Amino acid sequence: MRRSLAAFSIMVVGVGVLLGAGAAAPGLGDSQPEHPSSSDRRDQAARLVAMAAFGERAVVKPSQDAVMGFTLSTSVKEVLVSGGQQVKEGDLLIRGDDSEDIAEAKFQRARAETQLPVDRARAQADLAEVEYQRQVETFDQGAGSPLELDRSRVARDTAKIDLELALLNLVLSDLQATRAEARAAKLSLRAPFDGVVDIINVDRGQSVRDGEPVVRVVSLDPLYIDVPTPNALTISQGLKPGDPAWVLLQEDSAERVYLAKVLEVAPTADPASGTRRVRVEMANKIGLVPGVNCWVRFTPPTGEWKNRIVDPGVVIETAEAQR
């Protein structure tokens, strides 16, 4: 934590120097945007330093994040959602040109569901059995020849084989239909989980190559934070799944402290940084936005921070969603 604080302090000082230099730049006239005052810059720097001292720095991210694309080259037939739209698992998002594949799937399914070839083969097998039995009776009475009996027996056996082939073809037709249906399904992108559509990269009628990113869906409740935590800290505190954590968001002007919990602790450490990945889970019923910087600690906040603790898993009227 001391290393993080020192590095962040250097960064804040550097930003202050740059801002001060920009404020003194001559020759820009009245059109130049007004720069923050020195006191404002000092306040902002002090705020960032105080936040950095809160805990370990990390970034908030969605708990599930899926960037989807077609596995076959196609053209976009329908775009059924828009950015920011809530979706349920299985909802159809974007549909490719699947008309030919659907027709093929229906054709194969119709072949798989008909029993006519099997009924025909079974009728021929029954007839061949009857003819063979009559040949046996005729031969036993001395009226038939051995050749006719053998020919009748072979015809019966062949009819039985034809019936087995018809049954096998029925199974193979079902497999072909299933494969055709699976191919057609590849041209329909569906939500893999309950979440929100983040971005759509295509328009109706656009040609898309296989593997090209088409749509992104994210899950915002809960949120995840992968915290690079000093290995010594994880050992001294004995961090384990279920332990409490407290999160401070850089973009939250109210400087609330959000309750969270440890979800995972990496079994190995990074020798270069001397840290272990600790995944923190934070409920999100109040609309917090992922992709922002934060600071995480694993001991109860003290001082003024302890009076700002909020449970993001509970919607309360006084807690505004982060914008």
Instruction: Output the pLDDT for position 312.
Output: 92
Is 279 found in the same domain as 142? no
Phi, psi angle pair for 191, to nearest 5°: -65, 125
Which of 217, 191, 188, 216 is closest to 201 using CA atoms? 216
Please give the residue range of the domain that contains residue 211. Answer: 66-90+192-215
Is residue 269 in some structural domain? yes
Is residue 263 in some structural domain? yes
- Paired with 95 in beta bridges are 78, 188
Is 179 found in the same domain as 104? yes
Is 226 found in the same domain as 255? yes
Is residue 321 in some structural domain? no
Is 82 found in the same domain as 202? yes
Is residue 95 in some structural domain? no
pTM for the full predicted model: 0.71
Which of 217, 212, 182, 183 is closest to 75 using CA atoms? 212
Is 199 found in the same domain as 84? yes
Domain end marker among 164, 185, 206: 185
Instruction: Output the pLDDT for position 252.
Output: 81
Is residue 315 in some structural domain? no
Is 200 found in the same domain as 85? yes
Domain end marker among 163, 185, 207: 185
What are the Cα distances from residue 54, in Å, to 13, 71, 246, 249, 304? 18, 46, 9, 11, 11
Coil, strand, or helix at residue 239? coil
Number of structural domains (the chain) is 3
Is 137 found in the same domain as 79? no
Distance (Å, rounded) from C-alpha 247 to C-alpha 284?
12
Instruction: Output the pLDDT for position 105.
Output: 92
Is 122 found in the same domain as 56? no
Is residue 123 in some structural domain? yes
The enclosing domain of 291 has a CATH number of: 2.40.30.170
Instruction: Output the pLDDT for position 266.
Output: 96
Is 110 found in the same domain as 40? no
Is 233 found in the same domain as 297? yes
Instruction: Output the pLDDT for position 196.
Output: 97
Mean pLDDT per 10-residue segment, the chain (323 residues): 43 40 41 59 67 89 96 94 96 94 92 93 94 88 86 93 94 93 93 96 94 96 96 94 94 88 96 95 93 94 90 69 44
Instruction: Output the pLDDT for position 46.
Output: 65
Is 210 found in the same domain as 73? yes
User: Measured between alpha carbons, how far apart are the two ends of the chain, in Å?
Assistant: 28
In terms of Cβ atoms closer than 10 Å to its own Cβ (0-12, 13-18, 19+), residue 139 is middle
Is 170 found in the same domain as 118? yes
